[in-house]
């Protein structure tokens, strides 16, 4: 495409956008004293066709997540996204058509402070920084919970063998996620229950401080209470484990997961596609549990996110 063809095609696009978007600010201001059709078309064409980065916010609290989207990409473009929140980890980038998607999840171990986000593009062998932006992470307060659990339960469900099984079978299912957005709109609460343990809480078990934080929400409800999928997705785990009891994990795509622990019965199987609000299990007290409840967690791969942050989100990439 030569310069004249590009100019004419860009003009057609820009004029179309001005015509079809009457309630929004025009891309070209025809009444401006400094109006120059060629300059305006060049600037607007860059805005329409050149890669554009959007970040949903630049300040979040530990347990939340940043959303980064890059639009107007070519198939051969190389996108690099770097930040220093978790320096030891490679940032995962999901590509779909002309867009790229990145979620920067902040778990309960994320320290408050100022960080930096850089998004760069390599096109036709040339690298250009599209965004260089500071990010702020705010601290979050966490509760302390003291549990008394029968020693027989600790010996069976909380043993070294139970944790070994958990790490061998459960952890790997969240390492890979489908490169498709299954979810649609808001995420719903999976069960009607009473919150007994919040996200990020520290615990003592029979007087001994544990070395982990509570990675989700405990919602107490009677045994047999229906549990629903919080959004569309694919079941990637449905099995009984010593530690977590009857367990379901749903991949919502692009790295987002939800999982449901200590269930009484499982109503889905691996590979099954589920829709938002579909019953997937019932509340129980299987595994390392002190009573009937749902342990509900959301994560970006292995980074456990506050489920309330997910449920308060509208499911869109820009806010």
Look at residue 74 in the predicted model and tell me its pLDDT: 95
Report if residue 303 sits inside a domain. Answer: yes
pLDDT of residue 135: 97
Residue 249 lies in a domain: yes
Task: Give the chain's domain count.
Answer: 3
Alpha carbons 54 and 312: distance in angstroms, whole number: 20
- Whether residues 214 and 266 share a domain: the answer is yes
- The whole-number pLDDT of residue 237 equals 98
Choice between 109 and 13, residue whose per-residue pLDDT is larger? 109
User: Which residue carries 């590509």 as its tokens?
Assistant: 95
Q: Judge if 184 and 132 occupy the same domain.
A: no
Residues 24 and 171 in one domain: no
Tell whether 246 is covered by a domain: yes
Residue 318 lies in a domain: no
Considering only residues 96 and 4, tell me which one the structure prediction assigns the higher pLDDT: 96
138, 171, 188 - which closes a domain? 138
State whether 67 and 215 are in the same domain.
Answer: no
Other CB atoms within 10 A of residue 310 CB: 23
Q: Using the 8-state DSSP alphabet, how is residue 284 labeled?
A: B
pLDDT for 201: 85
pLDDT of residue 101: 97
If you average pLDDT over residues 18-26, what whole number do you get?
Answer: 42
* Per-residue model confidence as pLDDT tens digits over 117-163: 999 999 999 999 999 999 999 998 877 666 666 666 665 556 889 98
What predicted TM-score, i.e. pTM, was given to this entire model? 0.82
Do 37 and 112 lie in one domain? The reply is: no
Domain of 196, CATH number, reads: 2.70.70.10
What six digits make up the tokens of 300? 């970006």
pLDDT, tens only, 254-268: 999 999 999 999 999
Mean pLDDT of the chain: 85
pLDDT for the residue 159? 82
Give the domain extent around 69.
Answer: 52-138
Name the pLDDT band for 290 (thresholds 50, 70, 90).
confident
The pLDDT of residue 9 is 56
Kindly tell me if the per-residue pLDDT of 14 is higher than 70. no
Two tokens at 192? 């009607």
Task: Please give the pLDDT value at position 111.
Answer: 93
Q: What share of the chain is helix, strand, coil (3-state, %, to 5)?
A: 20, 40, 40
Which of 99, 116, 138 is the C-terminal boundary of a domain?
138
């Amino acid at each position: 495409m030569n310069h004249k063809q590009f100019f004419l095609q860009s003009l057609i696009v820009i004029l179309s956008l001005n015509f079809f978007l009457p309630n929004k600010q025009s891309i070209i201001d025809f009444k401006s004293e400094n109006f120059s059709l060629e300059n305006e078309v060049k600037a607007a064409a860059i805005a329409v066709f050149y890669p554009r980065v959007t970040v949903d916010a630049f300040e979040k609290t530990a347990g939340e997540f940043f959303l980064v989207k890059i639009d107007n990409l070519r198939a051969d473009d190389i996108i690099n996204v770097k930040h220093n929140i978790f320096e030891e980890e490679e940032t995962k980038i999901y590509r779909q058509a002309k867009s790229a998607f990145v979620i920067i999840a902040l778990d309960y171990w994320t320290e408050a402070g100022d960080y930096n986000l850089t998004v760069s593009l390599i096109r036709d062998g040339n690298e250009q920084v599209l965004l260089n932006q500071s990010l702020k992470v705010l601290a979050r307060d966490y509760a302390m919970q003291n549990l008394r659990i029968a020693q027989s339960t600790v010996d069976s469900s909380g043993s070294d063998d139970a944790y070994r099984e958990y790490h061998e079978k459960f952890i790997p299912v969240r390492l890979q996620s489908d490169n498709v957005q299954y979810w649609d709109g808001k995420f719903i609460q999976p069960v009607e229950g009473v919150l007994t343990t919040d996200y990020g809480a520290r615990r003592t078990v029979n007087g001994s401080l544990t070395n982990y934080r509570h990675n989700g929400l405990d919602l107490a409800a009677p045994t047999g209470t229906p549990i629903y999928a919080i959004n569309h997705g694919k079941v990637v785990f449905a099995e009984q484990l010593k530690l977590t009891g009857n367990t379901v994990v749903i991949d919502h795509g692009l790295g987002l997961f939800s999982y449901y622990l200590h269930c009484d019965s499982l109503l889905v199987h691996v590979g099954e596609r589920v829709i938002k609000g579909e019953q997937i299990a019932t509340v129980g007290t299987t595994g390392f549990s002190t009573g009937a409840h749902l342990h509900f967690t959301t994560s970006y791969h292995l980074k456990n996110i506050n489920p309330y942050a997910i449920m308060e989100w509208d499911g869109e990439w820009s806010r």
